[in-house]
Structures are given as C-alpha cells and as structure tokens.
Chains A and B, each alone.
Chain A
Amino acid sequence: MKLKKEYVLRRICGENIIVAEGKETINFGELIHLNDTAAWLWEQAQEEFTPESLAKSLCEEYEVDAATAMHDVSAILEKWQQAGFLE
C-alpha cells in the first residue's frame, strides 16, 4: 500500500492536518485532522507498507497488544481509504 504523494501531513497551530499539495493552490475544502497516533502512523507510512507492517510498528512504539494494534490500524487505514489518501 502507498500514500498518494500529493497528501502531506502539516502541523498547523498544534494540530495535525492532511493537506493536498498537488496543485498550485491548496484547498480549504475537506480537512482531515489526525490525532497523534494517526499522525505518527502517517510518518511510518511514507514508504510502501502493509496493514501488518504498520501494526507491527505500532506495537514497537506504543504499549499495545498485537490484536488491538491490528484493529486500530485497520480502522485508520479505512478512513484514509475513504478520504482518498491511498493509491
């Protein structure tokens, strides 16, 4: 799986926002805010990844069991898929 290159995580006044920077101007249309965990996962997802590889990273970074990690990652990836962030 891969994130589309035009979507960039920007920190704006303490919030994590995904901004579409594919064109000359950016749109203040639908803004997706990410909580800190999702923002951290976004950084891990900059190279090609699988839900399993992200869940594994999550377990390594946070105190969470494998099943919960897999569940949380699946939920986040579902949102990203709906938002059109995934290739």
Chain B
Amino acid sequence: MIVTMANCYFLVADNAFLVQGEDSIIEALSNYNPFIFKGNGSRDIVFFMTIEIGKKRQYKQVSRREDGGFELICGQISALNPVYEYRWQGQTIGQLICSQNHQEGKLILSGYMMKFAIDNALMLQYALRTVNLQTVVFHASAISYDNYAYMFLGASGTGKSTHSRLWLQSIENTELINDDHPVVRIIDGGAYVYGSPWSGKTPCYKQIRMPLGSIVRLHQAPQNKIWRCSNLEAYFLLAQSITGKRMDRKHADGLHETESFLTEKYGLWFLDCLPNEDAAILCRDNIALK
C-alpha cells in the first residue's frame, strides 16, 4: 500500500511547528486550517511531531491522571525520553514519545479515536515545548471586547462557556477568541491572548490575538458578586488553570515566570455568579479596560 506523507507547518501564538504524517490523517485536522503557515523559511520551527499508526512501545510508568474515562500516563523510555500515553476507557489510543526538550515527538496511534489522540498530544507537546518561550496554554474561555481579551477561568462545568455566551449576547463589540484552551504569550512586557486549534466543544478556531485586559475566576453562586483576589490567591488560581509538568523543575520555572508576571501585572478577579445577563454586565462594568 502506498501512502503519501504530508508535511504541514502551523503557527499558534507565534510559535511555528511541523506535523508529519499520512496525507489522510493530516487532512482530517480541519481545526488546524486557520493556523496553517506557509512561510517556514522565515521562522524557526520550535518543535515537530511525526504521526504514525502502530504498536505502542514498552516504557516505565511514572504518574497517572484520570478525568472521566480519559487517562494520561506519563513515563520514560530511557533516562532521556519522556513518554505520554493516552487511554480512553482503558484502551490505548496513542503514545507520544519525545526528546528530552520536547523539540521532537513521535505519536504512535492505535487507530482508535485518532483525532482525539492527535489533538491532545499536539496540545501537550506544544505546551511542554513552549513553556520556556513565555507561552502558556490556559484552560479558559476567552472573549474579546473593544479589542481587549478577557479570560474566564474555573473548573470544568463551572459555566465559563455560558458566561462567554452571555457577554456575546448582551454586550456589543464582543467576539469569542477560544472556548477551551486559549494560548497566552508575554511579548515586550505585555500579555496577549491567542486563538488556538484546541477549543473543546465549541468549534472556535481563529488565528487572532488580542492584548489581555483582565482575567476572572468564576464560581457558581446564588448572587452576582465580584471582587479582586489577593496576590497569592491570584497566583494559585491562575496556576490551577494552566496544566503543566510541575515535577520537572525547568518546566515549573517556566510556568512560574509567566504566572508571576500575570499575577503582578494583571492580578485576578473573582466572580460569584448566576448564569444570567446581569452577571455579564456586572463583570464588564468592573473588569473592562476603558
């Protein structure tokens, strides 16, 4: 069987990366289309990933994280090669083997739930590789309002997407940037919020960026109320919304640099809220930059 291999360059938050794999696999990645990048000569590639279908390799398991039926097992193949195995309801869907600095990655797909495995593995390798490039992947819903970005943080199910939708419905000059994993990058002393190919259940894939205005942590409550967090609360709540390999010191240092910067320059608001328009208006009246 002859397969054609495709090389595709993408640009997310001004970080360029290369994905190599069979044509049919790469073509199915429609959420990455807005991020396709042609001018690869002009820019450094920060990492590449090759994707193939095959059998996973033996490795030493170090830690495990579970979320519903989804499992991420971290480990090592040798002292130098980190491994990340993805399972859905006990079945392996993919195994990502990286070089130590995460600049190189090989994703071995089992053939089951391939797009899910690719999206998770690419987002992971992206996050691990770019953490020392002042870039972090947030778990948040991000909107723009009058050309500034506002991010809503909170545990899954807290109502981030709902709150964004209320802004879009009831406030003019608003647009959704990304509904699950916007990417934040510090450039020249300011933070920018970028769209990404990873947007959860809402298909919002935009090659845009906006300067960050404010960040809000949401919490379901019987009344709408908003206040500023203390510095320490802000730091820890921001960190909670950024997944990372914290047991790796270099990685943790990179995360801390960005988290400190965001804490000191932007801080965090805390919003107790109902899923209603008043919550969006109250929030906007307090947090939006004039």
Contacts and interface: CB of A to CB of B under 8 A. Distances in A.
Answer yes or no: are A and B bound together in one complex. Answer: yes
Contacts of B57: none
Interface in A2-30: 6, 8, 10-13, 15, 17, 21-28
A8, A12, A17, A31: residue with the most chain B Cβ atoms closer than 10 Å: A12
B232 A17 contact: yes
Interface string A12-53: 110101000111111110010000000000000000000000
B264 A13 contact: yes
Nearest to B243: A24
Nearest to A12: B235
B260 A12 contact: yes
Contacts of B243: 24-25
A27 to B, nearest CB: 8
A27 B240 CA distance: 8
B236 interface: yes
Contacts of B233: 28
A21 B237 CA distance: 15
Contact of A13 (B235, B239, B252): B235
B246 A23 contact: yes
A67 to B, nearest CB: 35
B211 interface: no
Contacts of B239: 25-26
A76 B252 CA distance: 26
A10 B256 contact: yes
A21 B235 contact: no
B270 to A, nearest CB: 13
A27 B244 CA distance: 13
A8 B259 CA distance: 15
B158 to A, nearest CB: 16
Nearest to B256: A10
B79 interface: no
Nearest to A26: B239
Interface residues of B, number: 21
A12 B263 contact: yes
B244 A24 contact: yes
B247 interface: yes
B55 interface: no
A14 to B, nearest CB: 8
A31 B233 CA distance: 11
B7 interface: no
Nearest to B239: A26
Contact of A22 (B232, B246, B260): B246
B245 interface: yes
B249 interface: yes
Given A21-B252, A28-B237, A28-B240, A13 B246 contact: no
A26 B236 contact: yes
A52 B233 CA distance: 36
27 contacts: A6-B247, A8-B249, A11-B260, A12-B235, A13-B232, A13-B235, A13-B263, A13-B264, A15-B232, A21-B252, A22-B247, A23-B63, A23-B246, A24-B65, A24-B244, A24-B245, A24-B246, A25-B243, A25-B246, A26-B236, A26-B239, A28-B232, A28-B233, A28-B236, A28-B237, A28-B240, A31-B232
Interface of B: 63, 65, 231-233, 235-237, 239-240, 243-247, 249, 252, 256, 260, 263-264
The 10 closest A-B pairs by CB, nearest first: A28-B236, A13-B231, A21-B246, A12-B235, A21-B252, A26-B239, A22-B247, A10-B256, A13-B264, A25-B240
